[in-house]
Amino acid sequence: MRAAALPISGGDAIEAGVIDITTHEAHAIWLTAEKIKRVADKLVGVGPVGIGLDGLLAPVPLAGTLFSLAAGLWLLWLGVKAGATRFTLARMAFYVGFRTLASIVPLEGWVVDILFRGHLFAANALQKDIARRFGQPSQSAIGDARARPFWWRAAAALA
């Protein structure tokens, strides 16, 4: 049985039986979070060091901030949709909020854009919450999400 509306209370709603998502839906959310963190914080990487689209957009006035805000709100929406706990949602909001607010400051904010991986931290928090309740998706699905984040679908549609 599915609820008509998703309450903001997250994990507390699951405990009360209000939000009902399947393992397949939870894994789809987990994989979307993986794609977001890949694009936002490790689009170009060498070993453990990487830079994402938000870091690449940092010098462009307003573009980096808008991207960070949009990606952060998307992650938070996924957290609510997955029924994440209030604590997980609060952590996610802190990571994304700090990252987005820091990008407003021109020079120092750009350094934060590159060094502080707020989207990665927020996505990891959500993924841990989902994995605790539903387990992780298959390794092949995770590998596919990392290899082809989002643009491959647009490229396939144009071909």
Q: What pLDDT, in 10s, does the model give residues 68-120?
A: 899 999 999 999 999 999 999 999 999 999 988 887 777 777 777 777 889 99
Distance CA 98, CA 112 (A): 9
Ordered by start, the domain boundaries in the chain are 11-150
Nearest Cα to 99, choosing from 118, 120, 126?
A: 118
Give the residue carrying structure tokens 């960070």. Answer: 68
pLDDT at position 60: 83
3-state SS of 52-89?
A: CHHHHHCCCCCHHHHHHHHHHHHHHHHHHHHCCCHHHH
Q: Which residues neighbour 20 within 8 Å (Cβ) at sequence distance 6 or greater?
A: 1, 2, 3
* Average confidence score pLDDT of the chain: 82
* CA 74 to each of CA 68, 79, 80, 88, 147: distance values in angstroms, whole numbers, following the listed order: 10, 9, 10, 15, 20
pTM: 0.81
Query: Does residue 152 register a pLDDT over 60?
Result: no
